[in-house]
Structure 1
Amino acid sequence: MEQRTRVYICSSPNKRTGTTTTARLLTDYFIFNGRNFAGFDTDPQDADYGARFPQAVTIVDVAKVQGQVAMFDRLLVHDETPKIVDVSHRSYDEFWETIDQIGFMDEARAVSIQPIVLFHVDASGAALAAAQALAGRWPDLNMVVVTNKGAAPFGRGALEILAQFPSPRRLVIGALDPSTRAYFEAADFSLPNFLRTRPSDMSIVIRIGLTAWVAPIFTQFRAFETDVPFGVGVSRGLLEVGVAALLALSR
């Protein structure tokens, strides 16, 4: 089977839905596994993703032709190097309009590029309408509905709301308690380094909590690479193996 180059598009029309967190976690996943990747941050006003990985992430302004060329030409290179795009709420409309105008999806298919849209949702009608618009424009779009429970909690009625989105595939990112979240969000914290060597000054509670949080997320990411339809099809065995392997690192 021919290998495909995957392009992960972390996208949402709304702010505070966790797109940057997902882009960061994908990046950490590839670094932890010794994989090359290329990242793009489309929010030059608040380039948190680009600032955290300055050597590997290009900050682009998709409202300018120069920014479009710098990113989209690279995304259409079939080199089996994963690409990660953090599409902020500020750049959402411009990004998807450009995707449509240049025929990106058709071009990608022709050169064995596999776009995977990680669509971040909240309880708003705007998120649902935007997801339906993308699915209507590209009926075969590989969309995964992402819920970040820490960034955009749904509360009651979550299942009913999520059932309306045009894809059954799910990626769930759990919420962290305040202390663990503060550790994770620190500018000098490296998740791959943490997973390889536990810091001697870290609380065991934070260490176990952070490892238990990231283990199922990384397992779901691994399903991308094996083409397992996760969210609706990740086997319990695969999940348990991934969780056990990472939990072992926290001991």
Structure 2
Amino acid sequence: MYRTPVFIICSPRPLVGKTLIARLLTEFLLLKHGTVAAFDINLKEPSLLEFLPRVTETADVIDTFGKMQLMDRLIVNDGVSKVIDLGFHAFDEFFKMTGEIGFMKEAARRGVSPIILFVADTDRASARAFPMLQQQIPPNALVTIDNEHIVRGELPPAFARGRVLRIAALPVFLKTYIDRLTFSFTGYLRNEKDSSTELHQWIRENYFSFRELELNLMLQGS
């Protein structure tokens, strides 16, 4: 049975590259499947909605109505992959809610597979948040993102024990280039004929990592 994936990209910290990863993943899923539903839970820019307005809608977890509205969308096994760009301000409230309602078990019962992509950092907030997630999320559903632009050097041991997905750091001039609202990763792959460029290879490597993540998900569901 095909299980609908729900990718939740999160961190208790701002400015760790969370929205960049959400953009990459959303564009990959759109390229691979032709459809994706993305949710932006952010207070401040840059936000996923600004980069990918056609496939993204805003959501909030401030009040009960907003929480229930979001959860109703996430536990539907409709074959459409979901991506959530979870702002740092909503991190605690979101996972408090998912713990209280038994989101992981309910999702599994309905044929939905949530995958938590936690963007690691070396600060105290991240060090406290990760064990909390480990208590709530099954090991095969929790992936540490090692964004080399944020964690320079070795990933702290606490984050490195489980599944890790690495995002290589880009030079500053390329980072500035991809931060433009009009930039598309898939568009670049299609239009840049020279596949040896650093950016071309960087995008392909990340898309390959996401494909592996999806394959693992399918194998678990079979």
TM-score by length of 2: 0.90
Q: Cα distance, 1:164 vs. partner?
A: 1.5
Residues 120 and 159 in structure 2, CA contact (< 8 A), matched pair in contact too:
no
- Picking from 159, 165, 169, the partner of 1:171 is 165
Q: Which structure's CA Rg is the greater one?
A: 1
Q: Deviations over 1:149-192 (max 9, x none)?
A: 12x1333xx24x1x212742111111111221111111111111
> Could you tell me which residue of structure 1 aligns to residue 151 of structure 2?
153
SS of 2:16's partner is coil
Distance 1:34 1:106, change over 3 A: closer
> Could you tell me which residue of structure 2 aligns to residue 245 of structure 1?
none
Q: Cα distance, 1:46 vs. partner?
A: 3.2
Q: Which amino acid aligns with 1:51?
A: E
2:184 is aligned with 1:190 = yes
Residues 60 and 67 in structure 1, CA contact (< 8 A), matched pair in contact too:
yes
**Residue ranges of structure 2 left out of the alignment (5+ in a row):** none
Residues in 2 aligned to 1:4 and 1:34: alpha-carbon distance in whole angstroms:
14
> Could you tell me which residue of structure 2 aligns to residue 125 of structure 1?
124
Matching of residues 130-141 of structure 1 within 5 Å: 130-140=129-139
Matching of residues 48-63 of structure 1 within 5 Å: 48-63=47-62
Give the structure, 1 or 2, with the largest relative contact order (CA under 8 Å, sep 6 or more): 2
Residues in 2 aligned to 1:47 and 1:68: alpha-carbon distance in whole angstroms:
22
Q: Which amino acid aligns with 2:121?
A: D
Residues in 2 aligned to 1:141 and 1:221: alpha-carbon distance in whole angstroms:
15
2:203 is aligned with 1:209 = no
Q: Which amino acid aligns with 2:90?
A: S
Distance 1:126 1:44, change over 3 A: closer
- Picking from 212, 217, 225, the partner of 2:214 is 225
Deviates more, 1:38-47 or 1:87-96: 38-47
Q: Which amino acid aligns with 1:170?
A: V
**Residue ranges of structure 1 left out of the alignment (5+ in a row):** 230-251
Q: Cα distance, 1:225 vs. partner?
A: 2.0
Equivalent residues, number: 218
Matching of residues 1-251 of structure 1 within 5 Å: 2-46=1-45, 48-140=47-139, 142-150=141-149, 152-155=150-153, 158-159=154-155, 161=156, 163-165=157-159, 167-198=161-192, 208-227=197-216
Q: Which amino acid aligns with 1:211?
A: H
